[in-house]
Each structure stands twice: as C-alpha cells, then as structure tokens.
Structure 1
Amino acid sequence: MKLRSEYTCPLEMTHDMLKGKWKPIIIWQLSQGGCSLSEMKKAIQGISQKMLVQHLNELLECGMIGKTVSDGYPLKSDYFLTDRGRKVFEAISIMQSIGIEMMLEDDREDFLREKGLL
C-alpha cells in the first residue's frame, strides 16, 4: 500500500489505510486477541490466503497491527492490534453497532443471534 503524498484532510489518509472489504474485519478479529495466520483464515469466511497476507502486510506497514514470530519448528507468527489499531477498533465497533441497529430494523434478529451478536 502506498500512501499519497498529499491529502485534503486526515480522514482521507485513514480511509486509504483501511479501505477494502477485509481490513476492518481483520481488525475486528484481532480485537478478540492475537492470533496466527491460519487461525484468522479459519475465522474470516471467504477471504483467500493471498488477500489475507496482503492486507496483514498493509496493516503492519501503517502500524495498525504488530507481529511476533516464535522460534522453533514450525515457526509461528502471531498478529495483534497496536495502540493505533485499538483506536481504529473503537471506530469499527461504532460501525458494527450501527449495522446491528439496521439489521434489527430489517427483522434480521435470527442472523444476529446466529453470530452471537444478540
């Protein structure tokens, strides 16, 4: 991910760092606790390994997440939210609550219960 050299406002920069279908979902997943690439791949339905690795690298690059690598065999890498990532998660939580409200208005309580959100 290449950030532009000029922006009209700081929100544009944040948007560039988070744009895409998967980045907010990855941050949401990491808010539940650090996890490995394979754990994230299992938890995030529909994401390809290639897309997950690409987005993780972009989130690492902009300081939203961190990565620890354990010695030994096999090597194990765990990803976690940084302070910046936890701030972004607060905004994503607000977006999630708006989505829940809208689903309740659309009578989608069954879906929300199935996902453990009610």
Structure 2
Amino acid sequence: MAKGRTSYHCGIDAAVDVVGGKWKPHILWALNDGTRRFGELKRQVEGVSEKVLIQQLRELEADGIVHREVYGEVPPRVEYSLTELGKALNTALEPLGAWGSTFMSEIVANKQRTSVT
C-alpha cells in the first residue's frame, strides 16, 4: 500500500496499489506453493536484491497479503506464507498470468518492432 493511502477510486486502483512494483507479483507466485524461508524466496525471485526483497515483503505484510513467522532459534528462522487475502489475490492474478502466457510472443514481437535503435 502506498504510504498510508486510505481511499481508492475503484477496485483496480486498490489492487494495483497492493501488487504494484516489479517484484511483488513474482513474490506472490513464489509463495503460491506454500511457506518459504527468505533464502528460498531470494533464489526463486531471480534478480531481486536482498534489500528490495525485504522491502517488498514488508509492504505485502503491512497490506495483509503475506504472513511473516519468526522462530526464536539460533540462527534465527523466518518463514513467509500467503494469508487468505494473499491466496485470493493470487487467484485473481491467475487470468492475468494466463493472458500474458498466451500473448507473450506477440508482446515481445511488438516491443522489438517498436523499439528505437
């Protein structure tokens, strides 16, 4: 959620506020199969820096999408999982992912055709 935002114009506005950002959809998909430790998420979400992953997880946690479980062990163990709200969000994102898979080659071709060299 964007810096304490308390109102939206429509449902798309609210949804985009929650999943906005380059890495949040990747994090959501990584957690779709179950609970993950931080290191597992870092490996699954290729290309994300540790700092950004931590920031994105904190935002998802603040929005009630991700649950963070800290175990009082040495060394410390932290696990992340989707809340019911997060599972519902992933269900809502599935058709968008299907659309992207269906039209991926067309999207790439259009971008290559219109890119400035």
**TM exceeding 0.5:** yes
Letter in 2 for 1:66: H
Gaps of 5+ in 1: 107-118
Q: Which residue of 2 aligns with 1:116?
A: none
SS in 2 for 1:13: helix
The TM-score, its normalising length taken from structure 2, stands at: 0.83
Q: Which residue of 2 aligns with 1:75?
A: 76
Letter in 1 for 2:77: K
Letter in 2 for 1:9: C
CA shift digits 1:35-58 (9 cap, x unpaired) = 011111111111000100000000
The TM-score, its normalising length taken from structure 1, stands at: 0.82
Say if 1:57 and 1:102 are closer, same or farther in 2 by CA, change over 3 A: same
Name the % identity. Answer: 33
Deviation at 1:72, TM superposition (A): 1.4
SS in 1 for 2:79: strand
Q: Which residue of 1 aligns with 2:87?
A: 86
Q: Which residue of 2 aligns with 1:19?
A: 20
Letter in 1 for 2:67: G
Q: Which residue of 1 aligns with 2:3?
A: 2
CA shift digits 1:8-45 (9 cap, x unpaired) = 12321221111011101100000011101111111111
Say if 1:73 and 1:11 are closer, same or farther in 2 by CA, change over 3 A: same
Provide the aligned length of Structure 1 versus Structure 2: 108
Is residue 97 of structure 1 aligned with residue 98 of structure 2?
yes
Is the 8 Å Cα contact of residues 28 and 92 (structure 1) preserved in structure 2? Answer: no
Q: Which residue of 1 aligns with 2:34?
A: 33
Q: Which residue of 2 aligns with 1:66?
A: 67
SS in 2 for 1:16: helix
SS in 2 for 1:8: coil
Say if 1:70 and 1:5 are closer, same or farther in 2 by CA, change over 3 A: closer
**Cα-Cα RMSD:** 2.0
Deviation at 1:104, TM superposition (A): 6.2
Say if 1:55 and 1:103 are closer, same or farther in 2 by CA, change over 3 A: same
Deviation at 1:105, TM superposition (A): 6.0
Letter in 2 for 1:62: D
